[in-house]
Every structure is written in structure tokens, then in C-alpha cells.
Amino acid sequence: MLGVYFSGTGNTKHCIELFVKELDATAKSISIEDESVLDEIQKSDFIILAYPIYFSNLPKIMRDFILQNKQKFMDKKVFIIATMGLFSGDGAGCSARLLSKYGAEIVGGLHLKMPDCIGDERALKKTLEQNKSIVEQAHIKIKKSANLIKENNATQDGIGFFYHIAGLLGQRLWFYGKTKEYSNKLKIDNKKCVSCGVCTQLCPMKNLTIVNQKVAQKGRCTMCYRCISNCPKQAITLLGKKIYEQCKIEKYL
């Protein structure tokens, strides 16, 4: 068994690591950014796939990973974990449909509500204690779901027709354009930026570079909020114009 994930601010990484260890203390989890991920998938029969949900859809980076490596998932058993700030409808189903098309056997799905990571919008913001409670509830759900897999009765969150309709009507039909392509909307406040390079090192898309002591972008943002949540000067925004909270899982544990 192998955990494979994409995580922006750490929510998904935290959840899949707990989930995998509940199933098998010796199993490991690996990011899709890791150079050895495809070799590890090749060696594993059972994959736990995890990612955050953006506007009821897959992050572009995860969709591309699946499409570019579809043959690697053929004949694999796959259980899907989707983390989200709100009910996404078919968060797990978004990848389940793709993977089924390419020969994977979908075992089930799990939806986990986690602290919102959109740090430059006031909507969905919770207090620290509320976010800690959300994480604690996710921990309980993870243990229950892992135990059900052991009993061959895997949870089916996000899998099936009615979840699919809920996902479409909930957000995806209205906001599909936001996740269809990589974004070029990332904003850098050069008055705040000190060219420290933290964002360039963390970006999973290598979208950011420092040119003439200023951060430049290539228009390939996957909206993971990793740079926004880690910028020491709060100089980066995407959807909003002001940082309300830098959201990282370590704050809520």
C-alpha cells in the first residue's frame, strides 16, 4: 500500500499520513512532486490518493499528474481522500471517474472537512479553536474510515451519480474556468517583497522566479496557496487583495 498526495498548505499531507498509518504502520506516503513517485506507484497494488478540492474540482496539478501517468494506475486498487473547506459534492469522484476510465479499481472515497486555506478572502474564516475542532473531527473520521476498509466496507464519499450532480450544481458549473487552466492571477506586492526566495523554493509548479531582485511569475499557478501562506512579508495574494490569515496545518494541531 502507498499514499500518494498533493498538498498546498499541509492539510492533505497531514490527513493521508494519518490514514495510511491507521491501515499499515509500515506504509509510506509520497508527494506527486517527489522524483520517485512513479516508481513507488509501480511497485504498489493499493494506492491511497489524496488532494485538496478547489471550487468542487481537482487541482490542475493533480489532474495533469493523473492524465500524464494514466497507465501507471491500470489494474491498481485506489481509495481517494479529498480535503475541503466546504462540502464539494463529488470531490473524490472527480479523480475516480478519470482513474476508472484508465483501468483502476476504485475502492471508495473519503471527504474530510479541514481548515480553509484561502488566506486572502474573509469568507470561511474560523477562529483558531474552531479550526482545531475541525481537525479533531477529521481525525475521528479518518480512524472510522480506515477501520471500515479493514472490514471490506470502504466509505463511498463522493462516489456515484448523486454526488456528481451535487458537485456540478454546487460550484463546478459556475467556477470551472478557475480550475480548467493554470492561473496567471497571482499578485506580488513589490513594496512588501524582499526577494527572500521562500516562494520560489516552495512553488510546486516552479512558477515563481526572482528577476532583478523582484519575483516574476510564468502564469502557471495551481492555486495551492503555499507561497501565500509562507511569505514572511505577506506580499502575495491570489483571489483577494489582502491577507487575512496565513493558513498552515501546524497552527491547528
Ranges of each domain in the chain: 2-179, 187-252
b/e per residue, 206-225, with b = 16+ CB within 10 A?
ebbeeeeeebebeebbbbbb
pLDDT of the residue at 84: 94
Instruction: Name the grid cell of 199.
Output: 516562494
CATH superfamily of 2-179: Flavodoxin domain (3.40.50.360)
Backbone angles phi, psi at 147, to 5 degrees: -65, -35
pLDDT of the residue at 178: 78
**Which residues in the chain land under pLDDT 50?**
none
Give the global pTM.
Answer: 0.94
For CA atoms 157, 249, 239, 86, the dihedral sign is positive
What amino acid occupies position 211? V
Q: How many CB atoms lie within 10 A of CB 12?
A: 29
DSSP 127: -
Q: What is the CATH number of domain 187-252?
A: 3.30.70.20
Cβ–Cβ under 8 Å, residues 20 and 1: yes
- pLDDT digits over 129-188, tens only? 999 999 999 999 999 999 999 999 999 999 988 888 877 777 777 777 778 899 999 999
DSSP 71: G
pLDDT of the residue at 225: 96
Q: Is 188 helix (H, G, I), strand (E, B) or coil?
A: strand
